[in-house]
Structure 1
Amino acid sequence: MSAQLLIVDDSTSMRQMVAFALSSAGYAVHEAEDGQAALEKAQGQKFDAVVTDVNMPRMDGIELIRQLRQLPAYKFTPLLMLTTESGADKKQEGRAAGATGWLVKPFEPAQLVATVGKVLG
C-alpha cells in the first residue's frame, strides 16, 4: 500500500502542485486547507507524513506541528514544512515545534518527492 500523505496549504493552487508531484510519485495524497482542518483529519486517520505551509488562517503550520506532536500516533511521523519563509528564526521555531524538515517555495517537484521519500525511509 502506498504511503498516505497529508498536504496542508491555504493556497488551492499550491496544494494542487504538491499533490500532483507526490501522487505522480505513487503516494496517496489527502488535502487540508489550514491547520485546523488538517488536525481534524489527522485525528480521524493516520498519515505517514504531513507536508504543511507555515502561514495559514485558523491555525498556522508551526502550531499544527505542535498539536500533531502531542498525539501519540504522530510522535515519530515525518512533518515537513513547505513555505516561503526561509528565515533562520522561523526554521528554529519549526524545529522546536517538532518539524522533521523544511522546504522553501517555490519548490522543485523532484526535490519534494526525494525529501518525502527520504523521511519515510
Structure 2
Amino acid sequence: MAQVLVVDDSSTVRNEVCDFLKANGLTVVPATDGKDGLDKLRADSSIKLVVSDVNMPNMDGLTMVEKIRGELKNSTVNVIMLTTENSPAMKERGKAAGVKGWIVKPFNGASVLATFKKLVV
C-alpha cells in the first residue's frame, strides 16, 4: 500500500527521490517509465501522489498522465512532474492533463516535502 509513485527512467534520480520520501515517513513505490508507472498505479489503488519525469522510454510522463485520467478514469490521484523540461508548451499540456505541479530538476526534497505530504492525505 503505497502513498507515492515515483516514475523516472534514471535510477539515480528515482532512488534519490524514493529514499528522501521514505526517510520522511512516506510509503513509496518506484517505476522505471510511464508504462511501468501506469501498471503500478492500476495495481495499487492506495497511491495518492505520482511524481514523474517527462522524457522516458516506452511511455513519457505526460502520456502516462493522460492515460491515468482517460483510460484509468482516475481524477483523484495528484500528479507532480519532476523534470528538466521547462517549455511553456509542455507545461500547458501537463496542466490540460491534470498535472498539479511542475518541478524543474534537480530535486530539492526539503523545499517540496510539506506540499507532497499534503497531497497524500
TM superposition score normalised by structure 2: 0.91
1:8 alignment partner in structure 2: 7
Letter in 1 for 2:119: V
2:80–2:103: 8 Å Cα contact kept in structure 1? yes
**Gaps in structure 1 of 5+ consecutive residues:** none
Q: Secondary structure at the match of 2:103?
A: strand
Mean Cα displacement is larger for which, 109-118 or 88-97? Answer: 109-118
Q: Which runs of 4+ in 1 moved over 4 A?
A: none
1:110 alignment partner in structure 2: 110
Inter-partner Cα distance in structure 2 for 1:57 and 1:42: 18
Count residues in correspondence. Answer: 119
Q: Secondary structure at the match of 1:30?
A: strand
**2:30 pairs with 1:41:** no
Inter-partner Cα distance in structure 1 for 2:114 and 2:48: 15
**Gaps in structure 2 of 5+ consecutive residues:** none
Inter-partner Cα distance in structure 2 for 1:87 and 1:118: 27
1:67 alignment partner in structure 2: 67
Inter-partner Cα distance in structure 2 for 1:3 and 1:9: 17
1:103–1:112: 8 Å Cα contact kept in structure 2? no
TM superposition score normalised by structure 1: 0.91
Backbone CA RMSD of aligned residues: 1.5
Identical positions, percent? 41
Inter-partner Cα distance in structure 2 for 1:13 and 1:43: 25
1:8–1:50: 8 Å Cα contact kept in structure 2? yes
1:77 alignment partner in structure 2: 77
1:21–1:113: 8 Å Cα contact kept in structure 2? no
1:81–1:101: 8 Å Cα contact kept in structure 2? yes
